[in-house]
Amino acid sequence: MAHEIDYVVYGEEMQFVEVELDPGESVIAEAGGMMYMESGIQMETIFGDGSDKSSGGGLTGKLFSAGKRLITGESLFMTIFSNQSRGKKKVSFAAPYPGKIIALDLKQYNGKVICQKDAFLCAAKGVSLGIDFKRKLGVGFFGGEGFIMQKLEGDGWAFVHAGGTICKKELASGEILKVDTGCLVALTQTVKYDIEMVKGVKSVLFGGEGLFFATLQGPGTVWLQSLPFSRLADRIISQAGPNVQRKDEGSLLGTIGNLLDGD
């Protein structure tokens, strides 16, 4: 059972979430995500996520949990914040770049939500962070998130962050939604995720939308972001000067643009 935490999300574009902990309650977060904490909260760096799944097997379980985080490209360590006082205390966690924080009550989604690798911000202690392999080679190579996405499992609150404005879509059974691969933030386990190649030579060369897009088939819930971090970074790099290498979202148009610039 995850700890039953209370929370408030503040801000509009640069949000942070303030978590209220009762005595003995804890919250886990990515290393470096903390904004502030009140006196009485103890901070400890741990292997894995501190859940029963990672700690139940002793040192082996903790190492296995930490190893899974390395595969997803995250830090080897996480930080746990525990209320050691006799009263309620608060700790907050800030978003890393402009966007929105999504609060997920995992009980409402059958205890599991799959999200992009860098979306996780914090969660109640007891929520397990794992990896979700995409078995199809197409999804792995061209799906924008590679073979591996991150899964959040448990019955408590988890918080993820994404860029720009968040769009939540409820897909009916058999309903298909086609989205840019970089705009996918999270989906429930009942949604089928695949990729599809853009049709037409002109669309591929000059469409600017990349070679592939994701197809999401219901039933289930998906969350989309209007501003993927890769797109934001590309805009910044493009203004930094001709000597800075670009990183495009799979579009041939970016390569052609580099050639026209003389790169």
> Is the residue at 76 inside a domain?
yes
> Is the residue at 41 inside a domain?
yes
Q: Read off the CATH number of the domain in which 45 is found.
A: 3.60.160.10
> Is the residue at 188 inside a domain?
yes
> Is the residue at 152 inside a domain?
yes
**φ, ψ at 138 (rounded to 5°):** -60, -45
When the pLDDT of each residue in the chain is averaged and rounded to a whole number, the result is 78
Domains identified in the chain, total number: 1
> Is the residue at 135 inside a domain?
yes
What pLDDT sits at residue 207? 46
Supply the pTM of this predicted model. 0.77
The residue range of the domain holding 206 is 6-231
> Is the residue at 182 inside a domain?
yes
For 32-62, the pLDDT digits (tens) are 889 999 999 999 988 766 665 544 455 565 5
> Is the residue at 245 inside a domain?
no
What pLDDT sits at residue 45? 87
Percent of residues, the chain, with pLDDT higher than 70: 67
> Is the residue at 213 inside a domain?
yes
What pLDDT sits at residue 182? 83
Q: How confident is the model at residue 198 (pLDDT cuts 50, 70, 90)?
A: low
99: left (phi over 0), alpha (psi -120 to 50) or beta: left
Q: How confident is the model at residue 251 (pLDDT cuts 50, 70, 90)?
A: very low
Burial of 257 (0-12, 13-18, 19+ CB in 10 A): middle
For 151-180, the pLDDT digits (tens) are 899 999 999 999 989 999 999 999 999 988
Tell me the C-alpha distance between 52 and 129, whole Å.
11
* Residue appearing with tokens 């860029």: 163
